Chains A and B, each alone.
Chain A
Amino acid sequence: MLAYVVRRLLLMIPTFLGILVINFAVMRLQGFTLAEQMKVESGKGSEGVASERKVQGASKNVENYIDRFRRAGNDLPALINTRGFWTKADVVSTLQVAAPAHGVRSNSGSRAEKQLWLAGHFAVEPLYQVLADDALKELHPAAATAFALCAYASVDPGNVRELSSVELNRIQSLNETLRNNRFDSIADPAYAAKRKVLMSVYEDPLNRTAFAHSKGKAWKALFVETGFTDLMVKLFTGRLYSETHKEYAFTLIGERWYISFGLNFLSIIIAWGISIPLGIRSARRVGTLEDRATTNSLFLLWSLPSFFVGTLLLHHLCTDTSHGAALFPNRGLSSDDSMWYSTPAYLLDLLWHATLPLIVLCYGSFTSLSRYMRGNLLDQLNADYTRTARAKGASEDAVIYGHAVKNSMLTMITLGAGLLSELFGGFVIVESIFSIQGLGTLLLDAARQQDAPLIMASTVISVGLLLVGILVADLLYAVVDPRIRSKYG
């Protein structure tokens, strides 16, 4: 039995990893969207007249984007980071594409430019070398911008509490210096001075440890400083930070997961509690009017989308009418003043609030479970071994409950595990209809605001719960099925 559990757990590892990879890929998609927006916004700034304020405004915008990229881990290459090996020559060729000496900048140019801007501290040393080289004068404006943006220090809001005020001040003044000393052309009167200031940023021994290249750093960065590892580290150390809520994602989830979990758990129990007796009853009366009526109405219910049912219930039962107050509350899981209630009153209040969400949550799985139960039980009742049991003289009840139901539970458990995944899409809809502050609404808000870290965290938690559910189903299966039990001793 233990061997079976271990085997199941081991099999789940690649699945979980695969899901993490898919999640990572999905979050990467945001990089493209952000890049598009960044192109538009940075373009706005540079095309206008080069008034100091406008340039600063645009650079502030770009810095914001860089912050967003860095927080989502989207500034790093996905799987392999070769930036540590960049030399001056690499950067020069990139700069030449990004800012060609004569002629119009192409699409690939802006892509190269962004690539450089997002390179972070890896590109600082080669860019410094470009700035220091008098022969590359025509590249200096672009190099200065890139240098300023690469050396720009993001303050991760997640980390800000852990930084000392001295450190914070230093970072802020550094960013200020970088922002103020960019130049758009060599014709800028302050060109020489600004160039010197920028170069001094690199030469400052305090910064130098962070910016200087070394072979060891480059090799370490190759696999470690990648988008994927960054995200995994953040995920497993609980450092995924939600910008919209200004809070760690797991803290947010910790406040809410039990609401969704409790609702789902209850709805599963209710759905099974209804569907199994119903399926048995229907199968026993197969072909009768009652069976046909049940089967057909279950079929119709099955086709009824849950968001329609939920909205209908809300429309009819949760709105005040001219006759009086609404039958059921229309939002949340407890009344506003419920904290003053006594425990039984509180529980009643909870039940009153949870009734409709539970109905909507469970009817979807209840209809399909009943249909499966009926069909499956019919299969079992036609099986040879039930005929043997009848030939032994067992009563119809003994045949059904002793033999057939137990065996059809085997299939039902597998189906139930499959239905779990459907259920996990369902709770987003139900929670959004009834404004329940659970994991589903959290995820939905995160999706609406493109809060990638929060999406990642809540999907991982949901999938984790789902996998636990599947594991439980597997264990149940092993308990019921002697074939698996004996196989794993």
Chain B
Amino acid sequence: MVEPALNAPETASAKPGSTATLEAASPMRLALLRLARTGGARFGIAVLALLLLLGTYAPFISSEVAYVWHDEHGWRYPLFTDLFNRWSYTKRHDLLFNVLALEAPFLVVACLVLGRRMKIGRLIAWSSAIVILSWIACMLPLRKQGDDWRSFWDKRAQAHATIQDYQALPPDTHAWAVFPPIPHRFDATYVGAVLAAPLDRNQETGHRFWLGTDTGGKDVLSQMLFGARISLTIGFVASGLSLLIGTLIGGVSGYFGGWVDMILQRIVEIMMCFPTFLLILTVVAMLDRDIFKIMMVIGLTGWAGTARLVRGEFLAQSVRDYVAAGESMGLSRWRIMFRHILPNALTPLIITATFGIAGAVLSESGLSFLGLGDPTAPSWGGLLEQGRENIRYGWLIYAPGLAVFLLVTALNLLGNGLREALDPKSTT
């Protein structure tokens, strides 16, 4: 916003009462408060949270497998077993979200209980560590079956679990089961349902395809839900990776200066000049199309902006007195860089990272849209590509297109809100 241009310091000093109350809270908490007050950021957070929730609980919303199955053998909960079935969920990120889905309620309760006594950042760090460790544990051979060790994430057959099984039961069987609201799998081809319009019924089970089906006869809504998992994973992993690389390179470059800086700056310049999307496109073209490779490629190519930014911040910070003070106390360079300088450079980093997530999401959907995505993953961009190939079928365009738009808008709004909250001087 426009301050009275001429006398910003005068206006600031003219209200001593307000500054006194502001001093009590930490700058981070203040910024968060300011963030929570901007409407756009609030909307962005809400959309992100909703997408995260839908993505995480996608198997609970859309699956052929029953929550509960009761028959003469007793009670069974096939959906929970199915979460670790490698036939149902072949991708590692799906397993991660499945683990998260199971652990999230407990973690939320734990965070609420401990919230008073621990910092928010620490709670988030602990929760993510628990989820990631249990995810890795699920992939390790920890379970003994017969003679060999197997992981919990394994191929397993389940009798009497799907809606097809249920409907095939003879009418006099005493069995009942509860199914998810959308009893369709995201990767299952339904017979006679190629390009079914929204609200059409599945001829086998009689349930509706709320958003129709695609050219392969797969449920669009179901793919949208699982596509959220892909977009979110890509966004966070890829931009996390580029953030990490960019911070390291920019930090080293800015702190050490000299010839190290010169060489690294050349590299950064080259990366800046290279049209990122073209680079991603060519690299992906040369590799086999796997969602994790795509993620890595997007992450490995997008760090130039971050590096330049961190370098600038480090250059600005390294002449400050506190750095000299640290050096005079004999702290190591790495410690000064990452424990003392980095927190001060954090503000612009958080903002770039938020926009970086949006960029990564766009890159992945763009790649899938061009037919260079992982053909086995239900990506939004891939759906949109089918829409482009079958231009008359509007639901194949609107559903994934609006989803990408919504996610990108949410991230951009959040980034903008963060910028306004953390860096009130900026006008754009």
Contact = CB atoms under 8 A, between A and B. Distances in A.
Direct chain A–B contact by Cβ atoms under 8 Å: yes
Contacts of B282: 23, 26, 447, 455, 459
A405 interface: no
B391 A308 contact: no
A19 B270 contact: yes
Interface string B384-412: 10011001101001100110110011001
B274 A463 contact: yes
Nearest to A312: B397
Contacts of A371: 428
A302 interface: yes
B409 A311 contact: no
A318 B391 contact: yes
A311 B388 contact: yes
B114 to A, nearest CB: 36
A42 interface: no
Contact of B275 (A305, A311, A422, A455): A422
B286 A299 contact: no
A235 interface: no
B273 A315 contact: no
Interface string A306-341: 011001101100110000000000100000000000
A375 interface: yes
Given A376-B428, A466-B273, A424 B384 contact: no
Given A304-B405, A421-B274, A470-B273, 15 more contacts: A15-B273, A22-B279, A303-B412, A307-B365, A307-B381, A308-B384, A308-B401, A308-B404, A308-B405, A330-B391, A371-B428, A443-B281, A447-B282, A450-B286, A455-B286
A432 interface: yes
B264 to A, nearest CB: 12
Given A29-B283, A305-B365, A452-B286, A444 B370 contact: yes
12 contacts: A26-B282, A299-B412, A303-B408, A305-B401, A312-B397, A314-B391, A375-B428, A387-B5, A425-B275, A428-B370, A447-B370, A463-B275
Interface string A368-390: 00011011101100100001000
Given A428-B370, A429-B369, A455 B285 contact: yes
B287 A22 contact: no
Contacts of A300: 409
B371 interface: yes
A489 interface: no
Interface string A452-481: 100100010011001100100000000000
Interface in B264-301: 266-267, 269-270, 272-279, 281-288
A209 interface: no
Interface of B: 2-3, 5-6, 266-267, 269-270, 272-279, 281-288, 358, 362, 365-366, 369-372, 381, 384, 387-388, 391-392, 394, 397-398, 401-402, 404-405, 408-409, 412-413, 416, 426-428
B428 A466 contact: no
B427 A379 contact: yes
A286 B2 contact: yes
B5 A22 contact: no
Contacts of A19: 270, 273-274
A442 to B, nearest CB: 12
A382 B426 CA distance: 12
A365 B388 CA distance: 23
Contacts of B387: 311, 315
Nearest to A18: B270
A421 B270 CA distance: 12
A292 to B, nearest CB: 12
Nearest to A25: B283
Interface residues of A, number: 61
Given A311-B384, A311-B401, A379-B427, A421 B365 contact: no
Contacts of B381: 307
A29 B287 contact: yes
Most A CB within 10 A of own CB, among B276, B287, B401: B401
Contacts of B279: 22, 26, 459
A22 B274 contact: yes
A446 B372 CA distance: 11
Interface string A404-431: 0000000000000010011011101100
B397 A29 contact: no
A424 B286 contact: no
B249 to A, nearest CB: 14
Nearest to B407: A303
Contacts of A422: 275, 277
A378 B427 CA distance: 8
B263 to A, nearest CB: 10
A421 B276 contact: yes
A33 B284 CA distance: 12
A345 to B, nearest CB: 27
Nearest to A423: B275
Contacts of A344: none
3 nearest interchain CB pairs? A425-B277, A375-B428, A447-B285
Most A CB within 10 A of own CB, among B277, B381, B408: B277
A448 interface: yes
A27 interface: yes
A3 to B, nearest CB: 20
B404 A305 contact: yes
B366 A447 contact: no
A30 interface: yes
B5 A428 contact: no
A314 to B, nearest CB: 5
A319 B387 CA distance: 13
B270 A382 contact: no
